[in-house]
Chain A
Amino acid sequence: MSKRTVELSVATPGSDAQGNPLRVPIPASPADVDPELGGEHLLVNIGPQHPATHGVLRLVVELEGETVVRVIPHVGYLHSGFEKLGEYRHYNQIIPLTDRTDYLAPMSNNVGVVLAAEKLMGIEITPRCQVLRVIACEMSRIISHMVWLGTTSIDLGAFTPFLWAFQQRERIYNLQEMWTGARLTTSLTRVGGLLADVPDKFVTDLRTFTETFPDTLDEIDRVLTRNAVWVGRTQNIGVLTAEEAINYSLSGPMLRASGVPWDLRKDKPYLGYENYDFDVPVGEHGDVYDRFLVRLEECYQSNRILKQALDRLPEGPINVDDPRVILPPKSRAMNDMEAMIYHFKQVMEGVKAPVGEAYAGIENPKGELGNYFVSDGTAKPVRWRIRPPAFINLASISKMAEGHLLSDLIAINASVDIVMGEVDR
């Protein structure tokens, strides 16, 4: 009995004088355990079919003992050629493709792509549409972070937060379904407006959500933030300094966890984000733990934004009053000659964009999602480029993981918050 107690105290040795958690001492190299084992390097293949790689990511890892010497990532298993497909489609027909890029936050992608198209065409959207798009973006941020929290906690051995997080995500999915008719393939936006206005029950249901959702966050906070196992497995793991984070072009929570206060919603506001009262959480150490704290706090802040958006949701149309961009109502198209012509031209020819190009970046849950359109004056873009935040963030994984243990690689990979639909596009 007493022996068991000793073992437990070794497993969770408590904290040092500065309050940092102590770790179980691990021999630096296999040669310390047995001289015969020195110099042997092992090649381990993780993925592409492995639950801890969060999709079809493949990591070829060179190990010395349990220490990662080198990580060689292989991506592209889910490459679908979205950018090529976009060159053969009208601007509105591109929107369904964006559902399938970052499929954990589809509505936010829909917003990103039409913002670029509207910038290209010089379209000003209506006030109600702006607020509804903000709601869509923040709902997406919450579900994306909930998936991140759930899967990461499972990777690190905590099962319960996964269930809580997915329960909350399910509530947003129900709202998403109420609004767009789809849970994942939302295709919410249209150039110059939205697919549909929110249904009557939506506002009250979302308000109920915003009132009860922080309770779950509090619970997750209570279970994880000061949990010895969680802290021990995440603090000082995968550290990137602010300079390194900028040099690796990281964005979103990855960049902010390293202490760079950069958030497009504050620094290059779009959709009227400058009128909302919210804070941007910034980390200090740039490790996995700080990324967790930043994402957790972002959920609270998104909830704040949702509340404000619901309070100020103005009445009025959701679509711009421009028959060249927005389809006329079906009743008019069937009875009014002019409306029918516009309907025909839009369906057959699409919405034409002027010659030129436009880049619009939005703060997606994963980081800066950029959409870059180049137009030659036709209804289909010459080039549609997605700046994929997850792809660019993932590129730093070798830098972060080398020198850590293999089990830490799982934590580091989880902390990047990748979604392979977007990495491979």
Chain B
Amino acid sequence: MNSSANALQATFGNAIGRVVDARGETIVYVSPAKVRDVLVWLKQTAGQDYNYLVDVTAVEYRDRERPLEVVWNLRSLSSRQDLRIKVELDPRGELAVPSVVDLWAGANWLEREVYDMFGVTFTGHPDLRRILMWETYAEGYPLRKDFPLRGRFSRSEQVRQALNVNPEGHYSMEELAIADAYDELPRDMRDRLARGERDKIPNSE
């Protein structure tokens, strides 16, 4: 059993839910309101020193009654201990947890991936965009259990959209602004980009 679990219970009281110790791994459930305080405390308190973020991910169970879990795998390189922090969220409610990018820069892409795949918002993230799917992907969040394995759209619709991508949509507004290329685009393209249409087909809806 990782001694940090007891220290957390002593420090945060009933913000800490159950503690599971199985297969040499310690899992601590934390209430969503306090999770950022817990993570800051684990990183910055002498003696805890969880300076390495191994992974951020999420778990949704097949049982729809069970909450969706956001998981932080932490590691202390000095004491060689791993600790898993979990937060339970109601999948029917708002899925939001605080971001930890300011604590661990490595969380940037990991949080974007969880947002992309599960639709969990990380409040305070500097650049929360989809990462593996394209930015205008409209089918939802692929790793959610209500997402069918083949996607929400029919195969013919997926093919149609792929063939009809808007070629100027491959650069973001920000990127085009860098090159001053934005001013050179025809007016209708500029209007479409300004409305946020990237890879969408014009007039498709």
Interface residues of A in 347-375 (CB under 8 A from B): 356-359, 361, 368, 370, 372, 374
A-chain residues with CB within 8 Å of residue B105 when the two chains form the complex: 244, 247-249, 395-396, 399
Residues of A within 8 A of B57 (CB): 372, 383, 385
| B133 on interface, CB distance cutoff 8 Å | yes
Contacts of A250 in B (CB 8 A): 106
Of A248, A267, A268, A376, most B-chain CB atoms within 10 Å: A248
Residue B84 at the chain A interface, CB threshold 8 Å: yes
* Residue of B25, B55, B106, B109 touching A385 (CB-CB under 8 A): B55
| Cβ–Cβ < 8 Å partners of A385 in chain B | 55, 57
When the two chains form the complex, which single residue of A62, A248, A374, A382 contacts B106, counting CB atoms closer than 8 Å?
A248
Residue of B nearest to A391 (CB): B109
User: Quick check: is A217 within 8 A (CB to CB) of the other chain?
Assistant: no
How far, in Å, is A417 (CB) from chain B's closest CB?
A: 17
- The size of the chain A interface, using a CB distance under 8 A, is 51
Query: Are B175's CB and A424's CB within 8 A?
Result: no
- Interface flags for B172-187 (1: CB within 8 Å of A; 0: not) read 1011101101000000
Whether A262 pairs with B77 at a CB distance below 8 angstroms is: yes
Asked whether A159 is an interface residue with its Cβ less than 8 Å from the other chain, the reply is: no
Contacts of A383 in B (CB 8 A): 57, 59-60
Residues of chain A from 365 to 416 with CB closer than 8 A to chain B in the complex? 368, 370, 372, 374, 376, 382-383, 385, 387, 391-392, 394-396, 399
Whether the Cβ atoms of B133 and A76 lie closer than 8 Å is: yes
Q: Within 8 Å CB of B80, what residues of A?
A: 267-268
The verdict on A247 contacting B106 (CB below 8 Å), with A42-B179, A75-B132, A359-B84 known, is yes
The answer to whether the Cβ of A260 comes within 8 Å of any Cβ in the partner chain is yes
A424 and B132 in contact, given A43-B181, A368-B54 (Cβ under 8 angstroms) = yes
Q: A24 interface residue, CB < 8 Å from B?
A: no
A-contacting residues, B111-133, CB 8 Å = 113, 117, 130-133
Closest to A63 in B: B178
- Give min CB distance, B116 to chain A, whole Å: 8
For chain B, residues 47 to 81, give those with C-beta under 8 angstroms from any C-beta of chain A. Answer: 51-55, 57, 59-63, 71, 73, 77, 80
Bound Cα distance A244, B71 (Å): 23
Contact segment of A79-87, A138-146, A147-155, A205-213: A79-87
Determine which of A41, A382, A395, A396 lies in contact with B61 in the assembled complex, contact meaning CB atoms within 8 Å. A382
Contact between A79 and B132 (Cβ–Cβ < 8 Å)?
Answer: yes
| In the complex, residue of chain B having the shortest beta-carbon distance to the beta carbon of A425 | B132
| Chain A residue at smallest Cβ distance from B112 | A395
Q: Judge whether B104 and A247 touch: CB under 8 Å.
A: yes
B153 contacts A by Cβ under 8 Å: no
Q: B150: shortest Cβ distance to chain A, in Å?
A: 10
Contact status B61-A376, CB under 8 Å: yes
The answer to whether the Cβ of A135 comes within 8 Å of any Cβ in the partner chain is: no
A289 to chain B, nearest CB (A): 23
Chain A residues with CB below 8 A from B10, complex form: none
B54 lies within 8 A of A249 (CB): yes
A359 CA to B54 CA in the complex, in Å? 11
Chain B hits for A304, CB < 8 A: none
- Contacts of B143 on A, CB cut-off 8 Å? 83-84
Q: Does B8 contact A (CB under 8 A)?
A: no
Q: Does A246 contact B (CB under 8 A)?
A: yes
In the complex formed, the residue of A with least CB distance to B179 is A43
Q: Tell me which residues from 37 to 65 in chain A have a Cβ below 8 Å from any Cβ of chain B.
A: 41-43, 45, 60, 62
Question: Count the B residues whose beta carbon is within 8 Å of the partner chain — how many?
Answer: 47
Q: Which of B62, B82, B110 contacts A392 (CB 8 A)?
A: B110
User: Are B53 and A76 within 8 A (Cβ)?
Assistant: no
Do B110 and A62 touch (CB < 8 A)?
Answer: no
Task: Flag if B132 contacts A246 (CB, 8 Å).
Answer: no
Q: Say whether A60 contacts B77, CB under 8 Å.
A: no
A72 and B106 contact, Cβ closer than 8 Å, known pairs A267-B80, A382-B62:
no
Among A231-268, those with CB < 8 Å from B are 244, 246-250, 260, 262, 267-268
Residues in chain A near residue B181, CB distance under 8 A: 43
Shortest beta-carbon contacts, A-B, top 9: A249-B106, A43-B179, A76-B132, A395-B109, A79-B132, A383-B59, A387-B55, A248-B106, A385-B57
Can you list 22 pairs linking A and B with CB atoms under 8 Å apart?
A43-B175, A72-B175, A76-B131, A76-B132, A76-B133, A79-B132, A84-B149, A119-B23, A244-B105, A247-B51, A249-B54, A249-B107, A260-B77, A357-B25, A358-B23, A358-B25, A370-B55, A376-B62, A387-B55, A392-B109, A395-B108, A399-B105
Chain A positions near chain B (C-beta within 8 angstroms): 41-43, 45, 60, 62, 70, 72, 75-76, 79, 81, 83-85, 88, 119-120, 122, 244, 246-250, 260, 262, 267-268, 356-359, 361, 368, 370, 372, 374, 376, 382-383, 385, 387, 391-392, 394-396, 399, 424-425
Q: Which residues of B contact A (CB under 8 A)?
A: 22-23, 25, 27, 51-55, 57, 59-63, 71, 73, 77, 80, 82, 84, 104-110, 113, 117, 130-134, 142-143, 147, 149, 171-172, 174-176, 178-179, 181
Besides A249-B104, A395-B108, 20 more A-B contacts (Cβ < 8 Å) are A43-B181, A60-B175, A72-B175, A119-B23, A244-B105, A246-B77, A247-B104, A249-B54, A249-B106, A356-B22, A370-B54, A372-B57, A376-B62, A382-B61, A385-B57, A392-B106, A392-B109, A395-B106, A395-B109, A424-B132
